[in-house]
Structure 1
């Protein structure tokens, strides 16, 4: 009877047996490659090619639509009724609706002054504006600093309220929901939400509010993000390329997130919910299913900040990938059975917005480029057509670059960067679909504000030592 020794896992009587461990692994590979590896890898290639076609068609569809939008569509102020806000001598400030500005914060040492200052400098009658700072900070020093900043602006006549909670339940959604329960906000007709790093221009309200006043079916006005630290490092340049495509193409085509809500839309949609880490997307989808319209204004820009460290960016991408996948799991049937929206809109939300953009795009990038293609090098019996390995990826990459023409020369690095990040996004997507342990993990993205800028200025303004002083008189 053939025996297997401690240094061998193949019987000595087996044809082609060798005592060398590496040789045994090679023999085992040859034994399982033809009957198992090759068929399995071919199936995986077909699946990835199908996903590649889905992503390509989605990108092509959005490319065609954005070209038509740019060529033939009128600007938002021409498509919708819009009139500039004017002072009325008879009504006084009563001609302006009451607006609530919410700024959720959590240990925002570096940016709290910037965001509070930008909100307080909005060009809007002071008696028609309520600024609400929702501070969930756990650092008592930072909490004290934020409160003093609110008191400082209040002393200047700004109607600003500093709100805290006993617990941080529900994270940002919980803070926003709690803020709407205050008695002093019941008279407010519209709500604007700025993240802690947002820096709106003073005319933001005067440009956005008229769309909501004169078009009762519009629930949301979304502004475009501009990044104050896009040129800080290669990491921020890569993020700018991805996000500019989102705002330049995806948002124009139809996708929208929160920035500005009418109270009626929030209440009718069921209010803020903390069931996922993308509370804004959750509310936007539910409002859309109620028949409300959204409006994206590409020329209304708000400055914000990109994560400048890989750790902060990785946590942000986990939340942005896990949350939509988990929301898709929870809302897929609700969307499919909804009777208030058209069949086309159901298809768009389920297939285009969620399935292709939030699930397939991440998984396809990781499995095809990082797993399947490298494996086909080891298994030459498996053929990958050129159109799937070269042509479609090049076209998809070129379409993704239209949002940031100035960074076209960085496309090669962007592809490598996206492939690396695809692993983290795929893992987060699977966690969201399966509702695993980290599904509701919320790590606030670290922000640096003007700290990095000040360091750079200090370094450039520092006195330079002359060569003679360094070397001495010699």
Structure 2
């Protein structure tokens, strides 16, 4: 009997065999395309179209609500009890509650003076204000500089405390939690948190604290971020467009509808009683601020967003710093969703609408689906349909809905409307990084708790750019006279970003 081997079932060549390897690959493609590739790609198209509809409806809902808010909603001062903080001759400073200001830091050489100086210049009675600098720096030189700055302000009569820890356990959440344990803060009713690059206006407390005093059900008053370096380069302009939509639309809608909005970590003032009732700061995710806000919301506390109360801050002006920040901002919410979805669903103290809003709208659509939809649809599925013409993508899904979503996203920053094309490319490029971080958070993979402090440059980059601009102008003037012009700021910043990203000296 003839022997039968596995090779007997494998033909030496496909029909129409040619010795060309490319030809063989082409024949193999034709064999598997119809039974495998086409059905699978059509399935992917349907999934992406479903995700696009979810994102579209979310953006449309936000757009309708924000229009109603702007046209018909009363200002927060009229919707809530609010009275201006005035000096009382009889009670003196006792009329002002004791407020704690926390400034967490980690090797903030370039910006530590900014936040400390801004906090010390707050318009609030000195004996009713405690400023706490929580320094986790590992650079001894920086630690010494920060401590000397605190001593300098203390000599002026400011109640400022310099606090360090033996270990950096829990990162920022650990520092904030440790700061609340000191005896001198036990009588404080409210706590404000400012990052090392934040610059609050002097009247910040006088505008925010009355909402907490006269409305005992409010746990948090959140201010809006403004960016001092938004015009630094095209990278910061793109970030401004994304964050302005977040603050002008998402935060405003969540606050106006009493649903929920994510605390942004800094630039907000908390009621300490609400923090304690919610279980305090936890370091189980890299978004400790959002974690605390969700837990406080499940306890029945309300949050208030003040769009006209603004705090200046700094955007990452290098791609390396921006990439690490986006990993934390994408991985953390996905991981928090994994940890808290059942707690939210089974909670009995909040309404069914609020549960649906937090689980579906806030977490599922905005923090998970939005990243995946952008990456898989625009960067994977649509390009593949060009190779497989048998798969059709309807125009409403490929053109109309994306254009409407993009237009709605631009309402937060009308001055940058002409940059929408670049913003779309920028978001598509970043979508891969965000999608990867989202999966890491959902699956609790190895980098789930990675925490890299966002590099802050303060006025360093600006000063370097001005120096380069002056030098270039002088050099060109030698050859071109008065017709010489300094290089454009946008181009200069992008060169610095590119040099740093590829490890080349600028």
TM class, shorter-length: over 0.9
Distance 1:308 1:284 in 2: 28
TM superposition outliers: structure 1 runs of 4+ over 6 Å: 1-10, 255-264, 466-473
Contact 2:240–2:413 (8 Å) recurs in 1: yes
- CA offset at residue 452 of structure 1? 1.6
Picking from 480, 487, 491, the partner of 1:471 is 480
How many Å separate the matches in 2 of 1:391 and 1:3? 63
Sort the Cα spacing of 1:8 and 1:384 in 2 relative to 1 into closer, same or farther, 3 A.
farther
Deviations 1:206-232 (A, max 9, x none): 000000000000000010000000000
Shift of 1:16: 1.8
Distance 1:375 1:260, change over 3 A: closer
Separation (CA, whole Å) in 1 of partners of 2:381 and 2:263: 49
Q: TM (normalized to structure 1)?
A: 0.95
Maintained 8 Å contact 2:225/2:312:
yes
Does the CA-based 8 Å contact 2:103-2:195 persist in structure 1? Answer: yes
The yes-or-no answer on 1:234 pairing with 2:243 is no
The alpha carbon displacement at 1:388 in A equals 0.2
Distance change >3 Å, CA 242–CA 469, structure 1 → 2: closer
Q: Distance in 1 between matches of 2:368 and 2:66?
A: 23
| Deviation, structure 1 residue 42 | 0.5
Output the CA distance in 2 between the equivalents of 1:186 and 1:367. Answer: 50
Native 8 Å contact 1:212 1:262 kept in 2: no
Deviations 1:8-29 (A, max 9, x none): 9984343122211111111111
Partner secondary structure for residue 104 of structure 2: strand
Distance 1:465 1:230, change over 3 A: closer
CA contact (8 A) 1:189 1:262 kept: no
1:455: how far off? Answer: 2.2
* 8 A contact 2:69–2:256 mirrored in 1: no
The 1-side partners of 2:478 and 2:375 are apart by 55
The whole-number CA distance in structure 1 between the counterparts of 2:357 and 2:375 is 24
Alpha-carbon contact 1:133-1:162 (below 8 Å) kept? yes
Aligned-pair distance for 1:459? 3.9
The yes-or-no answer on 1:284 pairing with 2:293 is: yes
**Residue 255 of structure 1, CA deviation:** 6.2
2:331–2:439 CA contact under 8 A, matched in 1: yes
Call closer, same or farther: CA 1:406–1:471 in 2, change over 3 Å. Answer: closer
Q: In structure 2, do the counterparts of structure 1 residues 154 and 470 end up closer, same or farther at CA, with 3 Å as the change threshold?
A: same
Structure-2-length-normalised TM-score:
0.89
State the Cα deviation string for residues 147-190 of structure 1 (Å, max 9, x = none).
11001000110000000001110000000000000000001000
Root-mean-square deviation over aligned CA pairs: 3.4
Distance 2:427 2:105 in 1: 29
| SS at 2:425 equivalent | helix
1:465: Cα distance to partner? 4.6
Given that 1:190 and 1:262 are in contact with CA atoms closer than 8 Å, whether structure 2 keeps it comes out as no
Q: CA deviation at 1:333?
A: 0.1
* Deviation of 1:454 (Å): 2.0
Quote how far apart the aligned CAs of 1:472 are: 14
State the shift of 1:262 in Å.
Answer: 16
Distance 2:61 2:420 in 1: 22
- In 2 relative to 1, CA 303–209 (structure 1 residues): closer, same or farther, beyond 3 Å? same
Quick check: 2:14–2:27 contact (8 Å CA) kept in 1? no
State the shift of 1:257 in Å.
Answer: 15
Deviations 1:429-469 (A, max 9, x none): 00000000000000000010011222233345559658897
SS where residue 241 of structure 1 aligns? helix
Q: Which residue of 2 aligns with 1:328?
A: 337
Answer with 256-265 or 203-212: which moved more.
256-265
Q: Distance in 1 between matches of 2:479 and 2:418?
A: 40
Q: CA, structure 1 residues 261+408, in 2 after alignment: closer, same or farther (shift >3 Å)?
A: closer
5 Å matches for 1:422-441? 422-441=431-450
Preserved CA contact (<8 Å) 2:134 2:175 = yes
Aligned partners of 2:38 and 2:391 also within 8 Å: yes
Distance 2:311 2:342 in 1: 35
Answer whether contact 1:255 1:353 (CA < 8 A) is retained: no
Change (3 A) 1:259 1:373: closer
Aligned to 1:142: 142
1:338–1:260 Cα change, 3 Å: closer
Aligned counterparts of 1:466 and 1:447: Cα–Cα separation in 2: 30
Corresponding position of 2:7:
7
**1:300 match: secondary structure:** strand
Using a 3 Å threshold, how does the CA distance of structure 1 residues 136 and 123 change in structure 2: closer, same or farther?
A: same
More displaced, 257-266 or 24-33?
257-266
Aligned residues: 473
- Higher mean alpha-carbon deviation, 463-472 vs 442-451, is at 463-472
Do the aligned partners of residues 467 and 5 (structure 1) sit closer, same or farther apart at CA in structure 2, a change above 3 Å counting? Answer: farther
